[in-house]
Amino acid sequence: MLKTRKIEARKKIALVAHDNKKKDLIEWAEYNKTVLSRHELFSTGTTGKLLEDQLDRPVTKMLSGPIGGDQQIGAMIAEGFIDMLIFFWDPMEAQPHDSDVKALLRVAIAWNCIVACDRATADFILTSPLMLDEYLVNIPDYSGYLKRKIEY
């Protein structure tokens, strides 16, 4: 039996950006302000404050990414609380918390979360007719991983 999770019409969207991409994310969010106003927004610390100021609306803020915010967002995705991750990450700059970034993206993909890592993909997602209604997401079955025996 395939398990599903219902995403409501009002989506819970996590917005995250590396330092060199914060300006791009803020500009994108301002451009999409009307659409984003229909949804609940979450973010890591600094990015959340910038978004809140620019959009003039509340954003639920986690810790800063490098000190646990990425992991907090990842946990919310794994628990089925976050529906979508918009993560403008910087592919050209080494990040001191690169392992956290990889973990966040891995968790998002593992739980079939809607993910955009660049403006073009984020634009396509936000303008999709699926943004307007409820949507059923298939939840992967990882029970086989839990049953594996570790042999030494």
Architecture of the domain whose range is 3-147: 3-Layer(aba) Sandwich (3.40)
Instruction: Please state, in angstroms and rounded to a whole number, the distance separating the CA atoms of residues 74 and 111.
Output: 10
Q: Catalytic site residue 70?
A: yes
- From first to last of the 152 residues of the chain, give the pLDDT tens digit: 679 999 999 999 999 998 899 999 999 999 999 999 999 999 999 999 999 999 999 999 999 888 899 999 999 999 999 999 999 987 767 666 667 788 999 999 999 999 999 999 999 999 999 999 999 999 988 877 766 655 55
H or E element in which residue 49 lies: helix 45-55
Domain boundaries, the chain: 3-147
Instruction: Please state, in angstroms and rounded to a whole number, the distance separating the CA atoms of residues 130 and 127.
Output: 8
Catalytic residue among 24, 70, 100, 118: 70
CA angle 34, 37, 56 (to 5 degrees): 95
